[in-house]
């Protein structure tokens, strides 16, 4: 028997929609990262982007445990001396809830060309509606 080797032409992409209402941030992010990588498919290959598209709705309604709302920070740097900025999770959820989910998922993907390609298939919205209805996404429970 020959070993099956997945080729880019063999990859079939699907669209999934995930409702983030009441879901824990980390558990939601791991489920999304798994779909983006393609680990749920029988022909998963680590060096290829086998994953599917994921749409996350209601991003502002996620749940976190413990004291993370007040003790978890998101950092950014302008590149200038003294340019470090930090934002608390509570503020980030109020102003940009999509960035919270994107940051959690990005931390679980490969950091390189392949990971950036996978990350582009993630679409996050803070409202219950999205503009991707033409793709007929399937509902996914993560």
Q: What is the 3-state secondary structure (H, E, C) of the chain?
A: CCCCCCCHHHCCCCEEEEECCCCEHHHHHHHHHHHHHCCCCCCCCCCCCCCCEEEEECHHHCECCCCHHHHCEEEEECCCCCCEEEEEHHHHHHHCHHHHHHHHHHCCCCCCHHHHHHHCCEEECCCCCCCCHHHCCEECCC
Could you tell me which residues come within 8 angstroms of residue 65 by beta carbon, excluding any fewer than 6 positions away? 24
Region label for 58, one of left (φ > 0), alpha (ψ between -120 and 50) or beta (otherwise): left
Give the tokens for residue 97: 């809830």
User: Which CATH number applies to 14-139: 3.10.20.30, 1.25.40.10, 3.90.1180.10, 2.40.30.10?
Assistant: 3.90.1180.10
d(CA 93, CA 99): 8
Residue identified by tokens 């429970």 is 141
Question: How confident is the prediction along the chain (142 residues), in pLDDT tens digits per residue?
Answer: 898 899 999 999 999 999 999 999 999 999 999 999 999 999 999 999 999 999 999 999 999 999 999 999 999 999 999 999 999 999 999 999 999 999 999 999 999 999 999 999 999 999 999 999 999 999 999 8
pTM for the predicted model, two decimal places: 0.93
User: Residue 122 has what pLDDT?
Assistant: 98
User: Residue 1 has what pLDDT?
Assistant: 85
């Amino acid at each position: 028997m020959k070993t099956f080797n997945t080729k880019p032409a063999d990859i079939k992409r699907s669209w999934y929609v995930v409702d983030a209402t009441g879901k824990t941030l980390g558990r939601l992010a791991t489920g999304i990262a798994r779909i983006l990588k393609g680990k749920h498919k029988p022909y998963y290959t680590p060096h290829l982007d086998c994953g599917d598209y994921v749409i996350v709705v209601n991003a502002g309604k996620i749940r976190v445990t413990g004291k993370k709302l007040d003790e978890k920070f998101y950092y950014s740097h302008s590149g200038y001396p003294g340019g470090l900025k930090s934002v608390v999770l509570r503020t980030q959820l109020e102003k940009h809830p999509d960035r919270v989910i994107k940051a959690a998922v990005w931390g679980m993907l490969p950091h390189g060309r392949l990971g950036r390609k996978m990350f582009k298939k993630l679409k996050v919205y803070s409202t219950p509606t999205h503009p991707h209805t033409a793709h007929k996404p399937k509902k996914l429970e993560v």
